[in-house]
Chains A and B, each alone.
Chain A
């Protein structure tokens, strides 16, 4: 297997307006590589949700993207508060977003569930007080 394309993007904390910027750049790259529109869309949505989570909860972080011909792997890393109860955090509509964030229309508690929904594999590594990394994989062809 050949070496993947590797990219690292910083995500600024407290910057709702530019959240989604990373997703736009990755969309452009995937389009130029000729990935299917459905793969591009799923990657973009899952990444956007991850970006917003980092902005809301963790004062930003870093997104690592690896592109292989058969899959796209994304790691969303932050050094935020960590998630105390991952199972609870994964349930639809559960949110710990503060009121000021909700008033902007974010924090509906669908971030992690949506990442799961739009990716093929998802894994969370988290430690309270240390940070969270969300790993997600999107396969470009249905898995055999």
Chain B
């Protein structure tokens, strides 16, 4: 489904000091500072959460739906991400966590890792066939921030993305089907809630990349859920046996986990958005054509590094290693063929969105580019961000597109001032030349 306006990542203007930290960090140049506050260019935002991670004023938030949404349904199902299991200390059995979810308002649980195992199974079977249809490796579609990044920045790679729904969407569909059989309730009476580690999955839960509708009725942050669970966990004497996934599914919490589930070695996995971009550049330049599969996660360490988690991602990773120790490799039963095709595959292909294009008419675009180059050459090249754009190049683009004024450059203001009123320029901003002139 096309979506350009909804984003989980949201700015709280009252808390924002306009410090440019987020603007400098944003991997898609989606942030500008205007009037002393950060603003997000909606069509460029991929909901990666880097701005939330870096903001010293905690002025960026990932908005989720919240627990009051549970009231809308008669039967409520929690979909915990496998990374959620790494949030708790001193727990040696995932069943405690799953049982805990049933103590905080859910009637049932459906592990996302169970759906992840279905994706792993299918990927194993079909990778060779998929690879034959494309140049270069198959790229994982599990991280929605990465998929959105490819959609707006890597036109040649849209065809390489694994055309399979994210495990959360498969889990949601299966959870609803099973609950309808179990309870006899209608689909609309059953609420499926994903417990999310990150804003990107909040956005994709509402607007799936590959299909028109979502089966997820709401998202709840891992942090909120963790807080509710703490007291509930203390009251569990004997947990219910609810676990229905194994090592392959749980591993998806960590970078490299999805690829490991393919049970072959010819893959690479990269995590952290800057590393992801470097790998995608290399795939685009066909430097990695001898690789079969590329797993990419926007967050450091994979989903355990998501900004809505409580625990340090590296701690969570270690805990998950312990939790999975005595689990079977996989527990998921293969889904029926016809049913599988309906829930697994994207309905729509990934279409490139040329949001960075300067103009639909190439002659006009080239003319604009010439102006951008001209303005850029007149700028200091410090990329200081004081003008409210992340780089001098981005500023020049903004000027040409009518979104900024050429006189917004503070270094150029200094140069003008040094002629008209040199005494008001603070010492650190004076040039050496001026210093020597004064002496």
Give the interface of A toward B (CB within 8 A).
2-3, 5, 20, 23-24, 27-29, 31-35, 37-38, 40-41, 44-45, 48, 67, 69
Q: A33 to B372, alpha carbons, bound, how many Å?
A: 12
In angstroms, how far is the closest chain A Cβ from the Cβ of B392? 14
Give the interface of B toward A (CB within 8 A).
153, 155-156, 158, 281-282, 284-287, 352, 354, 356-360, 362-363, 365-366, 369-370, 373, 397
Q: Are B286 and A34 in contact (CB under 8 A)?
A: no
Q: Which residues in B have their C-beta under 8 angstroms from that of A40?
A: 155-156
Q: Which residues in A have their C-beta under 8 angstroms from that of B156?
A: 37-38, 40-41
Q: A8 to B373, alpha carbons, bound, how many Å?
A: 12
Q: How many A-B contacts if CB must be within 8 Å? A: 63
Q: Say whether, besides A31-B354, A37-B155, A44 and B366 are in contact (CB < 8 Å).
A: no
Q: A41 to B357, alpha carbons, bound, how many Å?
A: 16
Which of B158, B281, B359, B373 makes the CB contact (< 8 A) with A34?
Answer: B359
Q: Are B369 and A41 in contact (CB under 8 A)?
A: no
- Most chain B CB atoms below 10 A, which of A20, A27, A32, A35: A32
Q: Which residues in A have their C-beta under 8 angstroms from that of B153?
A: 31
Q: A2 to B365, alpha carbons, bound, how many Å?
A: 13
Can you name 21 A-B pairs with beta carbons within 8 Å? A2-B363, A2-B366, A3-B370, A5-B369, A20-B282, A20-B287, A24-B281, A28-B356, A31-B153, A31-B155, A32-B357, A32-B369, A34-B357, A34-B365, A37-B158, A37-B352, A38-B156, A40-B155, A44-B285, A45-B285, A48-B287
Q: Are B366 and A20 in contact (CB under 8 A)?
A: no
In the complex, residue of chain B having the shortest beta-carbon distance to the beta carbon of A44:
B285
Q: A28 to B153, alpha carbons, bound, how many Å?
A: 8
Which of A2, A31, A45 makes the CB contact (< 8 A) with B357?
Answer: A31
Q: Are A32 and B358 in contact (CB under 8 A)?
A: yes
Which of B285, B357, B360, B366 makes the CB contact (< 8 A) with A5?
Answer: B366
- Most chain A CB atoms below 10 A, which of B284, B360, B363, B370: B284
Q: Are A45 and B370 in contact (CB under 8 A)?
A: no
Q: Are A34 and B358 in contact (CB under 8 A)?
A: yes
Q: A67 to B285, alpha carbons, bound, how many Å?
A: 19
Q: Are B284 and A5 in contact (CB under 8 A)?
A: no
Q: Which residues in A have their C-beta under 8 angstroms from that of B155?
A: 31, 37, 40
Q: Which residues in B have their C-beta under 8 angstroms from that of A48?
A: 285, 287
In angstroms, how far is the closest chain B Cβ from the Cβ of A72? 12
Q: Which residues in B have their C-beta under 8 angstroms from that of A34?
A: 354, 357-360, 362, 365
Q: Say whether, besides A5-B369, A33-B366, A37-B155, A23 and B358 are in contact (CB < 8 Å).
A: no
Q: A140 to B123, alpha carbons, bound, how many Å?
A: 36
Q: Which residues in A have their C-beta under 8 angstroms from that of B363?
A: 2, 69
Q: Which residues in B have their C-beta under 8 angstroms from that of A5?
A: 366, 369-370, 373
Q: Which residues in A have their C-beta under 8 angstroms from that of B356?
A: 28, 31-32
Q: A40 to B284, alpha carbons, bound, how many Å?
A: 9
Q: Which residues in B have their C-beta under 8 angstroms from that of A44?
A: 284-285
Q: Which residues in A have their C-beta under 8 angstroms from that of B286?
A: 41, 45
Other A-B contacts than A29-B369, A34-B359, 7 sampled, CB-CB below 8 A, are: A27-B281, A28-B356, A33-B358, A37-B155, A37-B352, A45-B285, A69-B366
In the complex, residue of chain B having the shortest beta-carbon distance to the beta carbon of A52:
B287
Q: A29 to B369, alpha carbons, bound, how many Å?
A: 8
Q: A33 to B362, alpha carbons, bound, how many Å?
A: 6
In angstroms, how far is the closest chain A Cβ from the Cβ of B193? 38
Q: A67 to B366, alpha carbons, bound, how many Å?
A: 9
Q: A37 to B356, alpha carbons, bound, how many Å?
A: 13
In angstroms, how far is the closest chain A Cβ from the Cβ of B153? 7
Q: Which residues in B have their C-beta under 8 angstroms from that of A69?
A: 362-363, 366
Q: Which residues in A have their C-beta under 8 angstroms from that of B287?
A: 20, 48
Q: Say whether, besides A5-B366, A33-B365, A41 and B284 are in contact (CB < 8 Å).
A: yes
Q: Which residues in B have their C-beta under 8 angstroms from that of A27?
A: 281, 284
Q: Say whether, besides A37-B155, A41-B156, A20 and B285 are in contact (CB < 8 Å).
A: yes
Q: A28 to B359, alpha carbons, bound, how many Å?
A: 14
Q: Are A23 and B285 in contact (CB under 8 A)?
A: yes
In angstroms, how far is the closest chain A Cβ from the Cβ of B351? 11
Q: A38 to B397, alpha carbons, bound, how many Å?
A: 25
In angstroms, how far is the closest chain B Cβ from the Cβ of A45? 5
In angstroms, how far is the closest chain B Cβ from the Cβ of A92? 15
Q: A5 to B362, alpha carbons, bound, how many Å?
A: 12
In angstroms, how far is the closest chain A Cβ from the Cβ of B288? 11
Q: A20 to B285, alpha carbons, bound, how many Å?
A: 8
Q: Are B365 and A32 in contact (CB under 8 A)?
A: yes
In angstroms, how far is the closest chain A Cβ from the Cβ of B283? 10
Q: A40 to B356, alpha carbons, bound, how many Å?
A: 14
In angstroms, how far is the closest chain A Cβ from the Cβ of B287? 7
In angstroms, how far is the closest chain B Cβ from the Cβ of A48? 5
Q: Which residues in B have their C-beta under 8 angstroms from that of A32?
A: 356-358, 365, 369, 397
In angstroms, how far is the closest chain A Cβ from the Cβ of B394? 11
In angstroms, how far is the closest chain B Cβ from the Cβ of A16? 11
In angstroms, how far is the closest chain B Cβ from the Cβ of A142? 17
Q: Which residues in A have their C-beta under 8 angstroms from that of B357?
A: 31-34
